[in-house]
Amino acid sequence: MDRGRFSLLQLDPGEIYFEDYSAIFIPPDTTPKTYDVKKQDGRLKMCSKSLVFDPKDINKPMIKIQLKDCVIIEQWKGSAKFLQSNNVLSVNCREYIEMLERNIIAPYQFKDSANFLFLLNYANIMNCLPQICQLHRASTLPAAEQADMIATIVHSRQARVSFNPLWLDLYEKIVMETQADKVTPLVVNPGRILLSTSRLCFQPYNNIEQYPVLKIDLNSIKRIVKRRFLLQQIGLEIYSNENSSNPHIYLSFKNQKLRDEFYDNLLQQPELKLNEIEQDVMTLQWQNGIISNYEYLLYINSLGDRTINDLTQYPVFPWIISNYSGEKLDLNDPENFRDLSKPIGALNELRLGRLLERYNEMSHPKFMYGSHYSTPGFVLYYLARQYPHYVLCLQSGRFDHPDRMFNSVADAFKNCQTNMSDFKELIPEFYDISQEGKFLVNNMGINFGYRHNNVKVGDVELPHWTNGPKHFIEKLRDALESDVASKNLHKWIDLIFGYKQKGEEAVKANNLFYHLCYEGNVDLDSIIDLNERHALEVQIMEFGQIPKQVFKVPHPQRKVGLKLLTEPYQITQDDPKLEDKWKTMTNLCLQTSFNSHKNTVSHIFISDDGTRITSVGYDSKLKVFSLPQNKQTRSANIGNMPLSSCIQLPNINVLVIGSWDNQILLYDLDYGKVKESVLAHEDAITCMSFASKINLLVSGSGDCTVKIWKGLNSDGIIKPIQCLHKQIDHNSQVTCLCFDRENKYLAVGTEDGEIYVWETTNFTLFKKYDKHCSSIRALSYSPEGLKLAIGSSDKLFQIIDVNTGMPVFSKTLKSSISSLKWNEFLLVLGCDDGGLSIWDIFEVKLLLEVKAHSDVIKTLDISLEREFIATGSQDRVIKVWKPKTNNL
């Protein structure tokens, strides 16, 4: 069926389109002689607040008759000879609207009273008229009663509709069926949503969609996101393959319980194969430079419930450039950039002062800005040339005054700095080079009118430093990806999506908006009065909505100019493609294994030259294995208690060994005996680490302390008791510890899940994180020392930004983590089930996951040049692994 030009955008906000009828429109001035010429074939649309006639002839205007403006609606009682039927609807109205005459997008024409006749070709007037008259009666009631009556009519009609099972295949089983709305910009279209064992189907209550039923194969769905709609957790956005016939749908449910039930049922379907993108992967990739600032902002917007399908929650991007009047633009000059640490309303100190004066005089609830940085009106302010029909919908058939339109980039930015009610940020289109700035050009030739200087509104006026829309967008994108922006973008994220978004931090940052903008400040479900609820929804739309708060702690900074970003791999001369072997490996090759411990292998380390592996175990044995000779070269019995850790002191041939009998022992490899020992702690030694740059040994214990031993191998002093420098206390047993590469910080993990970071200059507490509810098993600093990898007994593997404590990567594994090591781009995890995971932590992807041992991998190490990995297990075996590729 030809659907003509009719669109839900031509209806009032919240208005519902029910059905349509094939009809002939007979203009008021029709005579028997002119009937054949003037009659118009088309379709008459019955909607909850209006009747709309859509003629087949696109040169003729569409006619919209608001039911509230109708005087009489009845079956025609006339006797014109050119009408052979009385199956005619007669409508007398005080005013009507003409739209899209000659199919040109233009402001609606509001016409005076008229009498309309619609000859119904197939429908019976006696079936249609009662429904139309019922809606007409509703339009005469006060607003609250009108909304209530329309809601009753809508419910009555929709309750009679169920999903047509004939659309399903023979063996397809229904899992769940319920009512849901399909959401597109400015439009909500109700229907039935059905989940089967193989597909997702949406059947609208009307025939406005392209297909009677929209079908999405479950195996094509790649991503499902819970969304907030009108500040309520009732939305669900579903993304499919790009080559799918329906690559995307945004649904809104009646309540959160129904949405969550549908979501849970959807996830349980075996046919569903989602792309598993961990929430925090993107943050680490962004920090490493794998993804751009633009891509990361799109991702953050998605986490904050911003989507292009909802103009009330459209993605928000920052103004980056502040120079729109100069002849040239130097992207290396910070003076050309906006201060991203401040909200747009605080950039002008003079205006901010006046706003704060008003704020201080207000009664509660206070706000600094009476307008928002993102509303449907602001989005369409920028996109009026690309989507004029959206503007007409939002503004009741009118365009904005020509002087108030988006005519000049420089004027728009200036207005955002000076106007007391203008605090707009930007939208993604300003940085999307794929669209080439089409929204800046009046390609449709829309007549938006003339400005005060008698200049017709055309394309947007661009700065002098650009030669056209495409070049302008490219320059803005370059600015967004520049070092200046990258160093400061996290500050803007804190304001819009982070910890400065609301509360006391928002007040301190001059970032407080009207209280209705914030999620949780109004419960729409508790408002029984439909009129009051509608008024609140309109307010929410007009004021704009704060994004969902994504981050509760300061967001980490992007790393700029680090060697890690530009040269992430150390390539040796002997093996110039060493990193490629890890990145392209298909499996691990077991190089050799040693099975000489009689109990759990508790700790191993590889010598700097990669020729030896030293180990200690619960059997009280110290073992040294020669890799070139592929045999054990030393075995020594160290006391009669399990040994927990072992460290080679630099410059001297001495090992420091930690024991469960609370002792630290110094074993002389030259003489093959324990030379010194000290009762170091009041409980078992659990872990040790050595800081070679500052010559410090640290030991952790079950007695909740870490002890610092200074100068252990300097000036010939090798008596530990003389080297005790300091003791630092913790709330529970110390389980693991490590220094950063520069030895400036010491990280300590404990049994109760706390992580302490100590400055090594005077061992004052730098940071403390309560990240886990279970024991911290392993810690390892990133090469540049700005991130910390954490493995815990609750199966959670995290990488946190040390300065902010924010997780930049998080993944729950199949088994608890027992050991880990970070060496440049490689991060290796050992687990309780004997599994070994190897990650390329620069690109943030899992390279390989194998079953390496039959029991817990208690310890592992990576050779200095990443040629191989060694693992030690509770199964008493030490194994040496190399990457296996298709070329090997």
Summarize pLDDT for 435-465 with one digit per residue, the tens.
Answer: 999 999 999 999 999 999 999 999 999 999 9
d(CA 285, CA 650): 35
CB 758 within 8 A of CB 707: no
Share of the chain above pLDDT 70, in %: 94
d(CA 406, CA 385): 9
Count CB neighbours of 292 within 10 A: 15
d(CA 419, CA 410): 14
CB 303 within 8 A of CB 286: no
Q: What is the pTM of this model?
A: 0.88
| β-bridge partners, 647 | 656
Q: What is the 3-state secondary structure (H, E, C) of 258-322?
A: HHHHHHHHHHCCCCCCCCCCCCCHHHHHHHHCCCCHHHHHHHHHHHCCCCCCCHHHCCCECCCEC
Q: 161-276 architecture in CATH?
A: Roll (2.30)
d(CA 633, CA 309): 68
Summarize pLDDT for 703-716 with one digit per residue, the tens.
Answer: 999 999 987 765 55
Residue whose entry in the numeric block shows the structure tokens 């993604």: 428
Q: In the 8-state DSSP scheme, what is residue 774?
A: S
Judge whether residue 162 has pLDDT over 60. yes
Work out the average pLDDT over 690-697: 90
Tokens of residue 503, six digits? 């509360």
CA dist list (Å): 409 to 286, 329, 402: 29, 15, 15
Judge whether residue 650 has pLDDT over 60. yes
Summarize pLDDT for 58-74 with one digit per residue, the tens.
Answer: 999 999 999 999 999 99
| β-bridge partners, 403 | none
Specify the pLDDT at position 171: 84
Sequence-distant (≥ 6) Cβ neighbours of residue 563 within 8 angstroms: none
Specify the pLDDT at position 3: 56
Class in CATH terms, 284-543: mainly alpha
Specify the pLDDT at position 575: 47
Class in CATH terms, 581-591+682-884: mainly beta
Q: Residue 531 — very low, low, confident or very high, per pLDDT cuts 50/70/90? A: low
Mean pLDDT of the chain: 89
Summarize pLDDT for 748-768 with one digit per residue, the tens.
Answer: 999 999 999 999 999 999 999
d(CA 615, CA 647): 10
Beta-strand (E) ranges in 483-610?
587-594, 601-606
Specify the pLDDT at position 279: 54
Summarize pLDDT for 783-839 with one digit per residue, the tens.
Answer: 989 999 999 999 999 999 998 888 889 888 999 999 999 998 899 999 999 999 999
**Dihedral sign computed on CA atoms, order 106, 112, 113, 114:** negative
Q: Are strands 696-701 and 248-252 parallel, antiparallel or unpaired?
A: unpaired
Q: Residue 570 — very low, low, confident or very high, per pLDDT cuts 50/70/90? A: very low
Burial grade of 166 (CB within 10 A; 0-12, 13-18, 19 or more): exposed
Domain boundaries defined on the chain:
8-158, 161-276, 284-543, 581-591+682-884
d(CA 788, CA 747): 8
Task: Look at the chain and count its residues.
Answer: 888
Helices 469-480, 293-303: crossing angle, 10 deg rounding: 80
| β-bridge partners, 188 | 183
Tokens of residue 728, six digits? 């630092």
d(CA 654, CA 485): 50
Judge whether residue 177 has pLDDT over 50. yes
Specify the pLDDT at position 120: 94
Query: Do 8-158 and 161-276 have matching folds?
Result: yes
Q: In the 8-state DSSP scheme, what is residue 564?
A: H
Q: Can you state the percent helix, strand and coil of the chain, rounding each to 5?
A: 25, 35, 45
| 3-class state of residue 118 by DSSP | strand
Q: 8-158 architecture in CATH?
A: Roll (2.30)
Judge whether residue 182 has pLDDT over 80. yes
Work out the average pLDDT over 857-861: 96
Judge whether residue 196 has pLDDT over 50. yes
Work out the average pLDDT over 240-256: 84
Tokens of residue 679, six digits? 């009762």
Nearest to 206 by CA among 227, 230, 181: 181
Judge whether residue 2 has pLDDT over 60. no
Work out the average pLDDT over 635-642: 91
Residue 851 corresponds to which amino acid? K
